[in-house]
Structure 1
Amino acid sequence: MTDQTRIPQGKPSRPAHPRRRKSGAPSLIERAGGAESWLHLSTPVAPLPPVAEPIPTEPVARPQPELRPEFQPAPQTAPEVMPAPEAKPAPVALDVPLPGPGPFQSLHADFPAPALQTQTQTGVAVSGIEGRPATQVFRGTFHAIDRRHLREQGLLEPEGPVTGLLEEFRIIKRQLLLAAAESRAGRGLPRGERILVSSALPGEGKTFCAVNLALSMAAEKDTEVLLVDADFAKPSVLSTLGLPGGPGLLDALSDPQVAVEDCILGTDIPGLFVLPAGNASGVDTELLASAHTSQVLARLTAHSPNRIVIFDSSPVLAASPASELALHVGQTVMVVRADMTGEAALRDAINLLSGCADIKLLLNATRFSPTGRRFGTYYGYKE
């Protein structure tokens, strides 16, 4: 075996330290480590945060399950008893004489008495017939109008064929009805529902125009017409319509005990009523100028806002009542006959009717048309 003691030993190795500079200054590694040896470098361990003590909390109340009550049957109740219907008022029986085949017979008419009925000084207000507004009952008698008599005079025939004359009065009445509606609404002149029909001289066709105007307006669905014969010197409305005479406007003006409603005549034409002139006297104009006239005329349209009153008065230049009636109306229709009425007479008549602020002219019996056509010819209507 080889003797290990005789093997030469080498020089001892130096420690594994980095060399120092001769000047004795620390090396770069030593300066970076900030220690004598880089073997002593270690990562500092962050201290553990202190353990927080638990905060005592109040126990949260948990919702308890809702205990449903046991099913119980609904209590039995007695059956509901419906109240008995209220008793309706008994119908009002009106004995209204209506035309029959022979002498006028009294027909017993039953009209219901609804809550809208009101007792007035002039009668009982009843529901309108055929869509007409509720009006007071005129206590005069009812008469039939002979249609053949109307045709013979060239007047409009109710329920008759459409003619050129009917078309002309449709145009005329529409302007008058519009003015009356404006008056009722407070936007026009007062008393627009009262219309005076007159002329400057006799024979110009004022009664012909007044009757046709009344017949045309009576055909309206929501309008009633009261035609008043105000030509006290020569009344002709009753004879034109074939109605009998009797007390009328002058009787109600002269005697306060006479109710004007008792003097009004009903006709078999729906919506048409007639008030005769009455018994004439020598003080007709003075009666019209009295304060009682305003009260009597106001009762003609009482409780009936859709009623039109047409006065067929005497010629303006022939009698004085027309100028007095002009103070009580809202519209005046001056009938002027073509090729007959002079301009001077027309101006004088209009001046006498100055009490009415709305005066319209109606040219009657004209045979000239600038266009060569007449109303109704487009549709082939009869003349």
Structure 2
Amino acid sequence: MSIIEKALAKQQKATECSPLVEPEIQELSNNETAIKVDQKAVLSLDKTGLAERGYLIDNGTRKSIKDEFRQIKRKLLNNAFGNASKTLEHSNLIMVSSAKPNEGKTFVAINLALSIALEQDKTVLLVDADVLRPSVIRELGIEEQPGIIDYLLGKSKQVSDILYNTDIDKLKLIPAGKPHHLSNELLASEKMATLANELATRYPDRIVIFDCPPLIGVTETLVLANLMGQAIIVVEESKTSIADIKFATEHLNEDMALGLVLNKAIRSHKDLYGYYGYGYGAKD
């Protein structure tokens, strides 16, 4: 049997045994190596459009958004891989949500993913879990692809079928997939819990960011939150009330790390990081 035949045979066996197979170098029994071939095309992001819409650029009048998200991600990475990780379950799984729709959570989720992708020794997986109002694909400027709903429905048999490489080296993507009338219920399923555990443990050096539905009005978001080790709640200044924030967060798991990102903050806030402020701490 040739080297290529051995590699393909081993690839087939690995695919049958593992739901999370990604392109990598496979070691053969006789110490020969072969590169596993991923049949899916690499997704090309609309980088020009992303820059025009304010993703990780300096607008010339405020501190660089890249610097602001660097400060935010540093706290998240410390929680995921530092001493705090010993007290957090699934510390590398981070949900990004808001109290209500249209507060900028997807913008924050994508920017965090782009920022973490700049790390030298980490990869990041961005999951669009806002299955009723998915917008990650649209924002990134790529065509609709099978995603998490297809997997939870059993239409995609393996997670590798819905996990895509992008043309940003360390950024991977799981889209939401085609909406379904049971989309939110699928997020609360046992299969989703199993998936979250796989994502947390199979690649322990990877950060997984979930763009989740709002907390108010979508009861399944709380179920999804219980699978995460960290949560970022996006708050739009002068729009989100304190009462909404308390209502949205009061039922979150007390053991998870919780942070607030103040979106669209006015420049006069000297204690915040310019356009985005980050408040971090345990819940009261």
Please state which band the TM-score falls in when normalised by the shorter chain.
0.7 to 0.9
Q: Deviations over 1:246-289 (max 9, x none)?
A: 21111111217621210112110011011111222222333222
Give CA-to-partner distance per residue, 1:87-122, whole Å, 9 cap, x none: xx669989xxxxxxxxxxxxxxxxxx9xxxx88623
Are 1:324 and 2:223 counterparts? yes
CA distance in 1, matches of 2:70, 2:174: 23
Residues of 2 paired with 1:357 and 1:90: CA distance? 46
Superposed displacement of residue 368, structure 1: 3.4
1:123 has 2:21 as partner:
yes
> Which residue of structure 1 aligns with residue 71 of structure 2?
171
Structure 1 280/355 Cα, relative in aligned 2: closer, same or farther at 3 Å? farther
Matched, 1:207 2:106: yes
Kindly provide the amino acid, as one letter, of the partner of residue 235 in structure 2. Answer: V
Instruction: From 59, 69, 91, give the equivalent of 1:192.
Output: 91
Aligned length: 255
Instruction: Give unpaired runs (5+ residues) of structure 1.
Output: 1-88, 95-112, 129-135, 158-162, 377-383
1:298 aligned onto 2:197: yes
8 A Cα contact 2:150 2:156, kept in partner: no
**Structure 2 contact 46–142 (Cα < 8 Å) conserved:** no
Q: Quick check: 1:231 aligned with 2:130? A: yes
| 1:139 to 1:231, Cα distance in 2 relative to 1, 3 A | farther
Question: Does the residue aligned with 1:195 lie in a helix, a strand or coil?
Answer: strand
Quote the sequence identity (%).
Answer: 36
User: How far does residue 292 in structure 1 lie from its aligned partner after superposition?
Assistant: 1.6
Determine whether 1:265 maps to 2:175.
no
User: C-alpha offsets along residues 171-198 of structure 1, whole Å, 9 cap, x if unaligned?
Assistant: 0000000100037x86221101000000
Task: Name the CA shift for 1:153/1:293 in 2 (closer, same or farther; >3 Å).
Answer: same
1:243 Cα offset (Å): 1.3
The CA RMSD over aligned residues, in Å, is 3.2
Inter-CA distance 253–372: structure 2 relative to 1 (3 Å threshold): closer
Preserved CA contact (<8 Å) 2:43 2:166: yes
How do residues 1-383 of structure 1 correspond to structure 2 at under 5 angstroms? Answer: 121=18, 122-123=20-21, 126-127=24-25, 140-156=40-56, 164-182=64-82, 187-255=86-154, 258-301=157-200, 303-354=202-253, 357-371=256-270
Q: 3-state DSSP class of the match of 2:234?
A: strand
- Unaligned stretches of 5+ residues in structure 2: 27-35, 58-62, 276-284
Q: TM-score, normalization: structure 1?
A: 0.60
Verify the 8 A CA contact 2:145 2:175 in the aligned structure 1. yes
2:152 partner letter: L
Give SS of 1:238's match: helix
- After TM superposition, the score normalised by the length of structure 2 is 0.79
Of the two, which has the highest radius of gyration?
1
Higher mean C-alpha deviation, range 301-310 or range 342-351: 301-310
